[in-house]
């Protein structure tokens, strides 16, 4: 087994890409994706099913259900999950650590999770990922899939995202907050932003303190934004730096408040993003948004992916938020 790539030494290798002189990239690996509805069984406690969202975009999702609910009449909360990867890395919902992450949440909450795949940058720069994930919500709204119709409580839906997926959950939430009538019977109740990937031109203290972090150093996150943002944009683009739009648009969260959404922000002080999470949380509170922060000491960006005990603790935090 080869040694893991140090992102401080080879950030492009760490991201699984090679830059080309024309500005394009070559991927070291392109993951396979199921392209037809299939039913699989990865764990005795869960039942999974893969579904195509949009064949033209090669976008798909995985429905993950606690096996025990299949023999009951109960409906469970619906969690729509957007995975991380900095918009750039060739990570799919079929990646083993993501499968374990979702399976744990499904079993511990319990809930039904729809884990959504989306297109990568720079082949498809932002807002392509936002577009794909909004489309997934309309697919859920319109689906005739028996598993979701029978076992998911569409009136209790939450958007959950990790890292760049947290960024997606935030921006997708803002997009759809004002069109709730068009999404019914799907009713979003809140956002869960876990180690969300945000940025900005001016470095925060935590970014400088953890500039050579082994999980998310500045050189790697800078490349992600360079490849992910619309061409010609810098890190103060609203897709990257939410504070720009929060400060400039007094009415940004009006619909979020009207809908009564709650927001849970989760991070740790070992994550370079922590200062940005705290800044956004404080501003959301100032704007009158129902927001809760769950910030812990130590850790690192995405720690719960790699620590089973911490993942169960995270699942319990999410469980308490969802059940209110």
Give the distance, in angstroms, between the CA of residue 221 and the centroid of all CA atoms in the same chain.
16
As a dihedral over the C-alpha atoms of residue 208, residue 305, residue 289, residue 107, rounded to 10 degrees, the angle is -170
In sign, the C-alpha dihedral spanning 136, 141, 143, 147 is: positive
Contacts of 93 (CB under 8 A, 6+ apart): 60, 61, 62, 83, 99, 102, 115, 116, 117
Q: Which residue has the tokens 């100032």?
A: 286
> pLDDT tens digits, residue range 62-107?
999 999 998 888 899 999 999 999 999 999 888 889 999 999 999 9
Q: Select from 271, 266, 267 the least CA-distant residue to 205.
A: 271
Residue-level pLDDT at 43: 56
Each residue's pLDDT, cut to its tens digit, for the chain (324 residues) gives 467 899 999 999 999 999 999 989 999 877 666 543 444 444 578 999 999 999 999 899 999 999 999 888 889 999 999 999 999 999 988 888 999 999 999 999 999 999 999 999 999 999 999 999 999 999 999 999 999 999 999 999 999 999 999 999 999 999 999 999 999 999 999 999 999 999 999 999 999 999 999 999 999 999 999 999 999 999 999 999 999 999 999 999 999 999 999 999 999 999 999 999 999 999 999 999 999 999 999 999 999 999 999 999 999 999 999 987
302 close to 215: Cβ distance less than 8 angstroms: yes
Residue-level pLDDT at 266: 98
- Walk me through the domains of the chain, giving residue ranges and CATH numbers: 11-323 (3.40.50.1820)
Active site residues: 163, 271, 301
Q: How far apart are CA 290 and CA 9, in angstroms?
A: 41
95 close to 37: Cβ distance less than 8 angstroms: no
Let me know if 97 is exposed, middle or buried by CB neighbors in 10 A (0-12, 13-18, 19+): middle
């Amino acid at each position: 087994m080869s040694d893991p790539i140090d992102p401080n030494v080879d950030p492009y290798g760490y991201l699984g890409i090679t830059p080309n002189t024309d500005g394009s990239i070559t991927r070291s690996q392109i993951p396979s994706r199921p392209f037809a509805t299939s039913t699989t069984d990865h764990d005795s406690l869960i039942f999974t099913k893969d579904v195509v969202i949009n064949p033209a975009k090669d976008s798909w999702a995985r429905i993950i259900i606690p096996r025990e609910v299949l023999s009951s009449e109960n409906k469970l909360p619906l969690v729509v999950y957007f995975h991380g990867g900095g918009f750039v890395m060739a990570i799919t919902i079929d990646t083993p650590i993501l499968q374990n992450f979702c399976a744990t949440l499904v079993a511990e909450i319990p809930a039904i999770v729809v884990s959504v795949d989306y297109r990568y940058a720079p082949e498809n720069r932002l807002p392509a990922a936002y577009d794909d994930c909004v489309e997934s919500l309309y697919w859920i709204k319109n689906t005739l899939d028996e598993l979701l119709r029978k076992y998911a409580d569409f009136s209790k839906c939450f958007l959950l995202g990790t890292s760049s997926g947290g960024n997606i959950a935030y921006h997708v939430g803002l997009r759809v907050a004002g069109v709730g009538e068009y999404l019914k019977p799907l009713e979003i109740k809140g956002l869960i932003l876990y180690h969300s990937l945000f940025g900005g031109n001016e470095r925060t203290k935590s970014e400088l303190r953890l500039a050579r972090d082994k999980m998310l150093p500045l050189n790697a996150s800078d490349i992600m934004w360079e490849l992910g943002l619309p061409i010609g944009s810098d890190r103060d683009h609203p897709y990257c730096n939410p504070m720009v739009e929060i400060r400039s648009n007094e009415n940004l969260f009006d619909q979020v408040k009207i809908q009564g959404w709650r927001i849970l922000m989760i991070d740790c002080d070992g994550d370079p993003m922590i200062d940005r999470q705290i800044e956004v949380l404080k501003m959301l509170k100032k704007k009158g948004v129902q927001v809760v922060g769950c910030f812990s000491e130590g850790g690192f960006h995405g720690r719960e992916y790699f620590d089973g005990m911490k993942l169960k603790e995270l699942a319990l935090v999410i469980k308490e938020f969802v059940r209110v």
